Chains A and B, each alone.
Chain A
Amino acid sequence: MSIRIENVAKRFGAFQALAPLSLDIGEGEMVGLLGPSGSGKTTLLRIIAGLEGADTGRIWFGSRDVSELHVRDRRVGFVFQHYALFKHMTVADNVAFGLEVLPRHERPSSAQIKQRVGDLLDMVQLNHLAQRFPAQLSGGQKQRVALARALATQPEVLLMDEPFGALDAKVRKELRQWLRQLHEELKFTSVFVTHDQDEALELSDQVVVMSHGRIEQVDEPAKLYASPQSRFVFDFLGHVNVFEGQSYRGRLNQGQAWIQLPEQHLDSGELYMRPHEMRVTANPTTIAHLPLKVMAVNPVGAEVRLELVPLGWETSSPWELGLSHHEYQRWSLKRGDQVYVEPSKAHFFSQHTAAPSEISWPCTSTAGVVEV
């Protein structure tokens, strides 16, 4: 079932939790609400569920206006961050709860309920723990029970509030993959809240980035990372290297550093560059003069991460740059070495326009790009 949010706003006393915002969620989509704490993502989720009332605006499930509907009549599955399992009931009773409280004419027979609970527990691979109490389960198991419980009544909308937030990294990764598979199978429409960008990018069909009660950007994960529409989204998603400068003679200048700008973009402002959008050079090039010192080399994972501090100019935080292991060996960089870098691609936020413009530079001949 598709979800349509129209001009929904919410205020807690003097605090504007949600500015009026609208959002369309397609049927069968998995959408992540991503943002720092206090950005209003949980409030929005609770309003969709009906656990919180919106001050203004309407919520539609398909063609059904559910704005005035009580949470129990909205028929959503809801998963809480801290599981919220019923402590005094066994795992099986927890899962059966939603079926047992159905109105008499809709309620399956107790044999059918038992059968269905068994199927659900098979699905979450916990049938061997059916008679345990929640206190006897691990965090990951509890959250799977909570999911089974939420899916018992076959809701068409599944809402999850930081579903993996209280779990450790390894369990979290497993559950993510598992949830993704489950979604492929059952095709429910799902909205989940997270502050973990990896989680949002990995699980979602669409990511909604929020800050200060507003929607910053709605996009597919890959697009979101490749072309953020605001400084906030840039900062929030992954590392970004920022170069702030004054335009002068076709260049963006700061201290001893400069970067060549194409004619049509010439203005003072900030260049945002991802770690993979830059390359190391032995000498300054015709594109850029950016002297940096290697502060740390971190050879963990698929690439070697360099932490760089500027020499003779300034940045608000150290720059990061990723090299392949092969490339890294060729350069044989170590702490304290001086290097130059040049950008290949960047987003330019000029001081006069809100939206960024994309800039790319050709590969210069002196650049030390490694042939693959």
Chain B
Amino acid sequence: MSSSVVNSNDMRRPRHKRVLPGLGLTLGTSVLFISLILLLPLSGLVMQTAEMGWERYWFVITDPQVVASYRLTLVSALWASLFNGVFGLLLAWVLVRYEFPGRRLLDALVDLPFALPTAVAGITLATLYSDEGWYGGWLSGELGIQVAYTPLGVVIAMAFTSIPFVVRTVQPVLEEMAVEEEEAGMTLGASDWTVFRRILLPSLWPALVTGAALSFTRSLGEFGAVIFIAGNMPYVSEVTSLMIFMRLQEFDFAAASAIASVVLGVSLLLLLLINIWQARFLRRFQGR
């Protein structure tokens, strides 16, 4: 009886009182800064685009040279993110599961593409893969594969700059995964491959897809690392960000914004889809 009295007292206590302080201040600051550094420039972009009519907008974004650049950018980014999905998973696996000398160093090196100015990466890659470079000379000489100034070069530059996304999203998930699930699989007679395919991969899947998608969206906008190795031949190896840059050099800000808005739209749509998919996928793990 006495406990029910206490409960009804609890019910009467004002509901809006929160235990954790500071919601107003921290949320306000966060929203302010998101507005300043994210939303304001984005709306500037949209407004600049809005100055031109629909017809002109459509004309600018469907220019054949620009459309060719979309295709190159999308296809290259797709290949780059696929490559990163496989190789990044392998790298994360090695870093988490094995102890070997130089592991910490390798772990630190993974972040290098983020830390390195992209132009530096671009020049380095272009030098390495050109016909006179170490890789390029061997690849074109021995195997007849031309890397520099081709779409393949674009893929390599994109993969290089965005691999940390995959490694850094998969790594923590892999670290938290209990070895016991794998052991359980083995005691039930599963081969290593089956354990990987049916037990490990499904648990890693959301993180892997997120990492690959981040890598993909980052590659869509990559400029510095790509332009040096791409060679920038019209209709063949021009990426969309280069098209934006060219319009800017022509002082056609509206056209530049129009093309940029397409890239922005694709990136946002992709992020949204990934988030929706992941929320649905993760629901079963949380038991809802």
Determine which of A84, A88, A133, A136 lies in contact with B184 in the assembled complex, contact meaning CB atoms within 8 Å. Answer: A84
Q: Are B189 and A102 in contact (CB under 8 A)?
A: yes
With a cutoff of 8 Å between Cβ atoms, the chain B residues found around residue A192 in the complex are: none
- What's the least CB distance linking B48 to chain A, in Å? 46
B105 within 8 A of A: no
B252 within 8 A of A: no
A101 to B185, CA, bound (A): 9
With a cutoff of 8 Å between Cβ atoms, the chain A residues found around residue B284 in the complex are: 88, 133, 135
Q: Are A101 and B187 in contact (CB under 8 A)?
A: no
B64 within 8 A of A: no
Known: A86-B181, A87-B203, A88-B203. A77 touches B287 (CB 8 A): no
Give the B interface residue count (CB, 8 A).
Answer: 21
By beta carbon, the residue of chain A nearest B177 is A87
By beta carbon, the residue of chain A nearest B190 is A101
With a cutoff of 8 Å between Cβ atoms, the chain B residues found around residue A149 in the complex are: 184, 188
**A68-76, A318-326, A342-350 - the one binding chain B:** A68-76
With a cutoff of 8 Å between Cβ atoms, the chain A residues found around residue B43 in the complex are: none
By beta carbon, the residue of chain B nearest A149 is B188
- What's the least CB distance linking B287 to chain A, in Å? 3
Interface string of B199-214 (1 = CB under 8 A from A): 1001100000000000
* CB contact list, A84-100 vs B, under 8 A: 84-89, 97-98
Known: A51-B183, A84-B178. A153 touches B285 (CB 8 A): no
* CB contact list, B101-117 vs A, under 8 A: none
With a cutoff of 8 Å between Cβ atoms, the chain B residues found around residue A86 in the complex are: 181, 184-185, 198-199
Q: Are A153 and B180 in contact (CB under 8 A)?
A: no
A78 within 8 A of B: yes
With a cutoff of 8 Å between Cβ atoms, the chain A residues found around residue B194 in the complex are: 101
A101 to B286, CA, bound (A): 26
Q: Are B287 and A78 in contact (CB under 8 A)?
A: no
Q: Are B187 and A51 in contact (CB under 8 A)?
A: yes
A49 within 8 A of B: yes
With a cutoff of 8 Å between Cβ atoms, the chain A residues found around residue B287 in the complex are: 133-136
Determine which of A87, A101, A133 lies in contact with B189 in the assembled complex, contact meaning CB atoms within 8 Å. Answer: A101
B186 within 8 A of A: yes
A75 to B188, CA, bound (A): 7
Q: Are A72 and B189 in contact (CB under 8 A)?
A: yes
With a cutoff of 8 Å between Cβ atoms, the chain A residues found around residue B35 in the complex are: none
* CB contact list, A76-127 vs B, under 8 A: 76-78, 80, 82, 84-89, 97-98, 101-102
B-side interface residues toward A, CB under 8 Å? 178, 180-181, 183-191, 194, 198-199, 202-203, 284-287
Those 5 A-B pairs whose CB atoms lie nearest each other, nearest first: A135-B287, A98-B188, A84-B180, A78-B187, A84-B184
8 A-B pairs with CB atoms under 8 Å apart are: A49-B187, A78-B184, A84-B180, A84-B183, A86-B184, A101-B188, A149-B188, A150-B187
